[in-house]
Amino acid sequence: MSTVVVLAFVAAALLAINMGASGVAPSFSSVLGAGMASRKRILLAYGACVVLGAVLLGGRVTSTLGKSIAPAEAFTPTVTVAVLASIGVSLLMANLLKVPQSTSWVTVLSVVVVGVHHGSVNLHTLYARLLPAWVLLPLAGYAITFVALRTLYPLRAGNMALHEQLARRKQLVRVLAIGGGCYVAVANGSNNVANVVGPLSASGLVSASLGLLLVAPIFGLGAALVRGPADTMGKSIVPFGPVTAALTSVVVGSLLLFASTQGIPQSLVQLQAACVLAVSRVKEGSVELMPRAQLAKVLAVWLGAPIVAAGSTWLALKFFV
């Protein structure tokens, strides 16, 4: 086995660790924030659900990232190392800053750079499929969450009976909230594991199905090693109760699974953020999620990490390929 191939798998493993750390935040941060289960149990559930989602539904997004944006022949082992390492560096930066980052944005932009370097980018995939989904699905998440929560808040004569029923069934609500987190983790596996496997499979280093099976468990390891993003999303932004946690999980998970069935690499973090925004609007009466300095930090990382990944990819391709 050549040094380049070894480096490709090492870069893939490190990237999966970073993605797992970032992905657990929107999957279970609401459950963590509400204190509904221990961190150890949540991490075990997260790892198992990510593997399930990747194996069952990860193939379409893997195909999109491996050959529908840039041609598969553009991904030599050396190019694959450059892409995975560049994505990994940008996500490591985000995780060190304790900000959950969109792995899909970062990966797609790096793959676009590969296509530009190769001389072929499928613009139809970008403009007709990916960009509309990146705009419309978060908007749908906000709207659905807002409308659903308005049936519960504020407390009034029309929903008082529902509140009484929920108050009497606290254990059921807790189970639903944790189940919702598992649902999001399955959706996460169906979509975001492909960010690592797409370049690997395109270069011929591993088949898509085997790559998904091998990489998915490493996401759980990353979630166990790095805890900052989950704490930021679940505790620093807006308080979640079990009902809100269950509701947002169903909305986020359903939208992400829809994207996976269409082969669209979709940002789990942005879907979650859109739903959190709706929660804040209904519960707090405003859209101010956090102190301005912290919000500026989150937005800067969201915009900066894809740029760092794209720039690193371009430099690596220019000097080493």
User: pLDDT by residue for the chain (321 residues), tens digit each?
Assistant: 688 889 999 999 989 988 887 777 667 766 666 667 777 888 888 899 999 999 999 999 999 999 999 999 999 999 999 999 999 888 888 877 777 777 898 999 999 999 999 999 999 999 999 999 999 999 999 999 999 888 877 667 676 776 677 767 777 777 888 888 899 999 999 999 999 999 999 999 999 999 999 999 999 888 877 665 555 555 554 456 777 888 888 999 999 999 999 999 998 888 988 888 888 888 776 555 556 666 677 778 888 888 889 999 999 998 887
- Number of helices followed by number of strands (H, E) in the chain: 15, 0
pLDDT for 272? 84
Rounded-to-integer distance, Cα 280 and Cα 274, Å:
10
In sequence order, which residues have a C-beta less than 8 Å from that of residue 147 and are 6 or more positions away?
none
pLDDT for 204? 92
Residues 289 and 280 sit within 8 Å (Cβ to Cβ): yes
3-class SS of residue 154: coil
In sequence order, which residues have a C-beta less than 8 Å from that of residue 245 and are 6 or more positions away?
30, 31, 33, 34, 36, 177, 180, 181
Amino acid, single-letter form, for residue 272: Q
pLDDT for 29? 66
| Domain interval for residue 17 | 3-320
Residue 229, preceding peptide bond in cis (omega within 30° of 0): no
Q: What is the pTM of this model?
A: 0.89
Residues 75 and 117 sit within 8 Å (Cβ to Cβ): no
Rounded-to-integer distance, Cα 274 and Cα 50, Å:
22
pLDDT for 295? 67
Q: How many domains does the chain have?
A: 1
In sequence order, which residues have a C-beta less than 8 Å from that of residue 239 and are 6 or more positions away?
33, 34
pLDDT for 107? 93
